[in-house]
Amino acid sequence: MSLHLVIGINNQSNYSKVVDRIIQEFDLLSKHLYLYDKKQLDRFMDEEAIHDDTTFIKRYGQCLQSMSSGQQKIRFINYLLDQKPHTLILDNPLSHLDTKNQRELIHLLEDRQKDVNLIFILNRADWIPEYCSEFYSAFDTQFKSVASIENFKKLYEIEEQSLDLTPVLEHHTATVEEVLVDMKNITISYGDKKILNNINWTIKSGEFWELRGPNGSGKTSLLTMITGENPKAYGQDIFLFGFKKGSGESIWDIKKHIGYFTPSMTGFFKGYFTVKEMIIGGIKDSVGLYIKPSKLEDQLVSYWIDIIGMRDKKDTYFVDLSIGEQCLVMTARAMVKNPKLLILDEPTAGLDQQSNELFMQLVNTIAKQHHTAIIYVSHKREVKLTANLIMELIANGNGSRYQLH
């Protein structure tokens, strides 16, 4: 009978040390062991390209590199299972998957769990395989046995916090036009492949939107029509912040109205900038070389530091923060210039459950207390998100269509 374990981690855990400890704790060094995580998948794809490996082409008619991110994960895990390992360690296997791909992977693991020992490293307790019998926590440098699944779930509980944006709002007096974005019959194709098909979307000041759709449905392509980064926007019927796209505006004329955050942005800031410097940089969309803030701007930065609860870390280097703390700082950085539109592109990817819930509280508070319109991008339903408007992209063979909720 196979043994299946769950190891709980958070954003303070040292992932590499956790894996090493698992191998040591359960005497796996001499066993036929495989590990699934993003690094292993990327390494395999590099090898696939370098050595012209046809393993996946023969089986699926395409290489891993050409698949959607969801299918890459599922088919690579299936490949690892086909190697008949004694143990397979899986790092957050459902993360970054849409609902359909999550169901497919869950079914795959359930079907194969009798033939292999599975060790799940999870940073959330919203999905725990029912066939798992032992539970451990590896928070910080600790590695402890947890008595039950109920106690495991309690590790991730967080109390609702009361956030107040009143000090920030007192200094934001600029008027905002009612319609910020108006797109009509937007169609995007790359070569023979149509990505979006006749999309209509109007975004007004203060609205809270969730942009939802499966992996590969064109969410990012649609966002780049708003941020001004997609040349396919020219010639299409798009009004942004009061002017028609292609009427002589620069990309900076658009970006000055937008606050934007996606987790991949955190990797751009490798220098030694403090929390305060990172948020100050948001005023001018810069870091390091910025104009000295005015007294009012400095006051706004201080308010945002208080709002995200990082007064005691204002002089801490951004690179030394946890992933969850970095996300909060980047959101404050996006908001400090008082944007008309805040775009959060799958912002909780990689966050543990506690950081995720704290982030949700901040976003919901901004939506409730601020006039900034919000687009929250997700490939799955975020239960605690209070968005009251949904733009859903529905993928099909002739480009994604849309449905408004």
| Sheet bearing 341-345, strands edge to edge | 258-261, 341-345, 373-378, 208-212, 389-394, 401-404
Using DSSP's 3-state secondary structure scheme, residue 153 falls into helix
| pLDDT at res. 174 | 57
Instruction: Note whether 279 and 252 are within 8 A (CB).
Output: no
| pLDDT at res. 70 | 87
| pLDDT at res. 334 | 92
Domain extent listing, the chain: 4-154, 166-404
> Can you list the residues of the chain whose pLDDT is less than 70?
1, 141, 170-176, 287-291
- CB within 8 A of 327, min separation 6: which ones? 261, 263, 266, 347, 348, 351, 355, 359
H or E element: which one contains 301?
helix 295-307
| pLDDT at res. 401 | 94
With CA atoms as reference, report the closest residue to 36 among 61, 15, 13: 15
CATH of domain 4-154: 3.40.50.300
| pLDDT at res. 7 | 96
| pLDDT at res. 355 | 86
Amino acid symbol at 117? N
| pLDDT at res. 312 | 93
Name the pTM for this structure.
Answer: 0.86
What region, left, alpha or beta, does residue 50 occupy, with left being phi > 0 and alpha being psi -120 to 50 degrees? alpha
Same topology, domains 4-154 and 166-404? Answer is: yes
CATH tag for 166-404 (out of 3.50.50.60, 3.40.50.11540, 3.40.50.300, 3.40.50.1970)? 3.40.50.300
| pLDDT at res. 171 | 64
